[in-house]
Homo-oligomer: A and B are copies of this chain.
Amino acid sequence: MSVVATFEIGYLRILDEEGHLLETIPDFARDPKTLLTLYRYMILTRRFDAKAVALQRTGQMGTFPSSLGQEAFSVGIGHAIHKEDVFCPYYRDHGAMFLRGVKLSEVLAFWGGDERGSHYTRDKEDFPISIPIATQMLHAAGVAYAIKLRKQKRAVLTACGDGATSKSDFSQAINAAGTWHLPLVLVVNNNQWAISLPRDKQSAAKTLAQKAIAGGFRGLQVDGNDVIAVRHAVAEALDRARDGEGPSLIEAISYRLCDHTTADDASRYVNKEDLKEAWRHEPIIRLRNYLIHQDFITEQYDEEIQQACDHEVEEAVEEYLNTEPQKPESMFDYLYAKLPKTLTEQRNEVMGV
């Protein structure tokens, strides 16, 4: 038997848990302002998250998926992508969405049960959150195809969880990306759980990054709790995509530090010790340590950031809670470009006419 093909999967980590450098720092991360932006968005994401969970617990919002522990992933990818690129997120990508210009109040509206939360006042092309798992990956492939057809120098970024890598839409997106050499970067937030299913029962693949091999393109792993590594690997992959060098699959390894959603009780299936251990690796402390080592931040400045974030969240909550509800008949108003006459009667019924 002769060997006809060989493959390897790499793993990138730049900052360790204590905030020490394991590799030379990438260029983008030499600028303290950039690091402070990443830090600030991670704090904002976490503060927002806690508030959103509280809103749900007090009956002021619907089911909500927390992104506790995923801040480096979300902020890292959101910071890597360029404004003119297109993002097709999944439901734990709030940090990235904020960086894309989606308003905090819009995210609250979405989870509060109001379609206007996906209207996006400040962005026109990104996809909204897709509830059926992994389906957004194929939308992203389609967007990338359109971009390629039009010879635009833009890239597409799409995200999903570890569980999502088992779905058809994921493998189809992988195959599409490879076949058409699409300007597409697929990132997997491997937080070790798909609701109650642990990563090792999701697939026998040693890494999820190696699923790219089925599509004939590069896959790699990064430490998903290391925002510098995530930001670096994703930005590089997006550059390649824009430069016509084809797609990448990036698996970011982290841990879900929260329940799956507010409808879940993870204590039923997550081992307490494992969870405690996972907290040791969480993304925010690590970056803060680095910022402190580097004298990029003081205790006091840190405090200010936290307060500013809280304030921003409070304002968003105000806006969310004070938004006039949609009219019931709005359920007909965006169904088609023009309401078919057969539906006028039903619309009138809803209006009580």
Q: Which residues from chain A sit less than 8 Å from chain B, CB to CB?
A: 1-12, 23, 166, 168, 171-172, 175, 178-179, 181, 201-207, 210-211, 213-217, 220-221
Contacts and interface: CB of A to CB of B under 8 A. Distances in A.
Contacts of A12: 1
A11 B6 contact: no
B211 A214 contact: yes
Nearest to A221: B4
B181 A172 contact: no
A5 B3 contact: no
Q: Which 6 A-B pairs have CB atoms at the shortest separation, nearest pair first? A: A204-B216, A168-B168, A178-B204, A171-B171, A205-B216, A214-B214
Given A1-B23, A178-B205, A203-B215, 14 more contacts: A1-B220, A2-B10, A4-B9, A5-B207, A5-B210, A6-B7, A6-B8, A7-B7, A166-B175, A168-B172, A204-B216, A205-B214, A213-B213, A213-B214
A86 to B, nearest CB: 22
A73 B168 CA distance: 28
Contacts of A6: 6-9
A284 to B, nearest CB: 24
A4 B5 CA distance: 17
A14 to B, nearest CB: 10
Number of copies: 2
Given A213-B213, A220-B1, A179 B204 contact: yes
Nearest to A217: B204
29 contacts: A1-B11, A1-B12, A1-B23, A2-B10, A3-B9, A4-B9, A4-B206, A4-B221, A6-B6, A6-B7, A6-B8, A6-B9, A7-B7, A7-B8, A7-B213, A168-B171, A168-B172, A171-B171, A171-B172, A178-B203, A178-B205, A179-B202, A179-B204, A204-B217, A210-B213, A210-B214, A211-B214, A213-B213, A214-B214
Contacts of A202: 179
Contacts of A172: 166, 168, 171
Find the residue from A166, A168, A175, A206 having the highest chain B CB count within 10 A: A175
A74 B260 CA distance: 47
A219 to B, nearest CB: 10
A202 B178 CA distance: 10
A212 B203 CA distance: 12
A4 B221 CA distance: 9
Find the residue from A8, A205, A207 having the highest chain B CB count within 10 A: A205
Contacts of A11: 1-4
